[in-house]
Amino acid sequence: MVSKILIKNAKAIITCDEHDHVYKDTDILIEGPKILSIGPGIKEEGAQVIDGSGKFVYPGLINTHHHFFQTFVRNLITIDYPNLTVMDWIDKIYRIFQIVDNDVIYYSTLTAFADLIKHGCTCAFDHQYCYTKKTGKDPVDKQMEAANLMGIRYHAGRGSNTLSRSEGSSIPDNMLETTDEFLKDCERLIRLYHDPGPYSMQQIVMAPCQPINCRPETFIETVAAARGMGVRMHTHLGEGETEGIKARYGKRTLEWCRDIGFIGEDVWYAHNWEVLPEEYKLLAETGTGISHCPTPAVLGGFPILDIKAMQEAGVLISLGCDGSATNDSSNLLDALRSAYMMQTYHTKERGGCASAYDMLKIATINGAKTLGRPDLGSLEPEKAADLFMIDAEALELAGAIHDPKNLLARVGLTGNVWLTMINGKVVYKDGVITGVDEKRLASEGEAVCTRVIRKPSEAFRPFL
């Protein structure tokens, strides 16, 4: 028999549905992975009851860009992202990336998942492009192990770099793959892990790292393969490489992607802070998504997307943490707050900005649309039971709880949530991740980081 859970008497349920419903003093009945009903006074014999009194319930946040392995290359002032260009940063940081092994992949992924889950994220995409002599082709497999342990919904982006430094990239030769290697491993991963069905817990995305560091045929053949196998595509774009692409191909990166077909409803790009207003129309008409990653933009001093103008033009925008080497955390609530504050900073010159609730929908329902998941992103019957709850009776929230829709980004709730549920299962509650020995994993992860990353790396020597 499929188990049922009844969240009873929630103070507010913020649905993020198309009508922006907020229900007060209401129940949610969950069966297996999905929501059965939302309404007052629900009674269900035998259901496990979660007391929602004094709690606000939100749809789970959806992270659409990250690099989990970088959680072991963060808080590193010796490679100081705010004082580097992206291309200079890549040149320095890859000297560390090239010594990553599969222990680093596994424990750094667990670390990122813990941070995401504790801050209300229920579905995460990772752009895993770090393939070294030590990792071989195993990183996504190790990440899937970590996702299964933590109980998080995971979309794995199988990345790759295929262009050598001698040909104009910034990637060490010992981290390169051939296009054929990349495509064959994508096919293997899709056969092994990709589940396109409702409430799927794992999917694969074909995600060559970025046009400046890949051969053109890598992208061209990705388009054919991904559409042939029915999976989505992703890459970095408009992140400082545009002038290099113009010098190489005589056109801006977005135009190059359009010309080879790496664009459309099954494609989204990370960052794109080099986008021009005249390019909004192309993104909107093709249904191509943008993952906005606010923290690295602030740290790097880069242009801030005009989200209000882009959404008015019809561009699909979602929210991402980005890798911890340019963020230093995997806290999507923090990214939500940062994204909102960045929009408000420019409001006078831009004639207004997205609201805090607009940003919440970017982090929930828009994330679901970006990943092609109509079963996620809002709290409605038949959608996945992916949600998080906060304690609205905490003293620090007194005077602010009258507007739960705008609360998170406006007031700045960036700490741990009270409960996170994924696919109808409680994976985190009252400070405890379900089913894992967090202290043991943290200790093991620290030991791996020191052995594999810190001791051999010149950048860490001042701290040892």
pLDDT at 35 over 90: yes
Give the pLDDT confidence of 131-150 residue by residue, as tens digits: 999 999 999 999 999 999 99
Q: Are residues 77 and 186 in the same domain?
A: yes
Banded model confidence at residue 89, pLDDT cuts 50, 70, 90: confident
Host H or E run for residue 7: strand 4-14
Is there a single domain that holds both residue 55 and residue 65?
no
Give the mean pLDDT of 6-24: 98
Q: Quick one: 220 exposed, middle or buried, by C-beta within 10 A (0-12, 13-18, 19+)?
A: middle
Q: Are residues 51 and 88 in the same domain?
A: no
Within a domain: 444:
no
DSSP β-ladder status, 61-63 and 121-128: parallel
Same domain, 42 and 150: no
Say how far apart CA 453 and CA 460 lie, in whole Å.
Answer: 8
Co-location of 182 and 278 in the same domain: yes
* The model scores a pTM over 0.95: yes
- According to the model, what pLDDT value does residue 2 have? 79
Number of domains present in the structure of the chain: 2
- Structure-model confidence comparison of residues 85 and 277, the more confident one: 277
Confidence at residue 86, expressed as pLDDT on a 0 to 100 scale: 77
- If you average pLDDT over residues 230-245, what whole number do you get? 96
What is residue 94's three-state secondary structure?
helix
Q: To the nearest whole number, what is the mean pLDDT of the chain? A: 97
Q: What was the pLDDT predicted at 1?
A: 66
Per residue in 387-420, pLDDT (tens digit) is 999 999 999 999 999 999 999 999 999 999 999 9
pLDDT, tens digit, 9 for 90 and up, residues 162-198: 999 999 998 999 999 999 999 999 999 999 999 999 9
Would you state the pLDDT for residue 351? 96
The verdict on 360 and 397 lying in the same domain is no
464 lies in some domain? no
- Asked if 143 and 426 touch (Cβ cutoff 8 Å), the reply is no
**Are both 80 and 45 inside the same structural domain?**
no
> Which are the contacts of 230, defined by CB distance < 8 A and separation ≥ 6?
196
Point out the domain boundary residue: 370, 393, 417.
370
Is residue 323's pLDDT more than 70? yes
- With tokens 């919440």, the residue in question is 360
The mean pLDDT of 238-260, rounded to a whole number, is 97
Same domain, 360 and 392: no
What does the pLDDT average to over 355-366?
98
The domain containing residue 22 runs over which residues? 4-60+378-432
pLDDT at res. 90? 83
Residue 317: pLDDT above 80? yes
Which pLDDT does position 170 carry in this prediction? 87
Share of the chain above pLDDT 70, in %: 100
User: Residue 87 above 80 pLDDT?
Assistant: no
Give the end of a domain, one of 350, 370, 390.
Answer: 370
- Domain assignment present for residue 302? The answer is yes
| Nearest by Cα to 159 from 201, 123, 112, 211 | 211
- Percentage of the chain exceeding pLDDT 90: 97
114-132 per-position pLDDT tens digit: 999 999 999 999 999 999 9
Q: Give me the residues paired with residue 419 across strands.
A: 389, 429
CA 121 centroid distance within chain: 9
Residue with tokens 């860009």: 65
Question: CATH number for the domain including 45?
Answer: 2.30.40.10
Same domain, 50 and 107: no
CATH number at residue 160: 3.20.20.140
Name the nearest CA neighbour of 74 among 123, 99, 108. 108
417 and 428 in contact (C-beta within 8 Å)?
yes
Q: Kindly state the average pLDDT of the residues 1-13.
A: 94
Residues 312 and 364 in one domain: yes
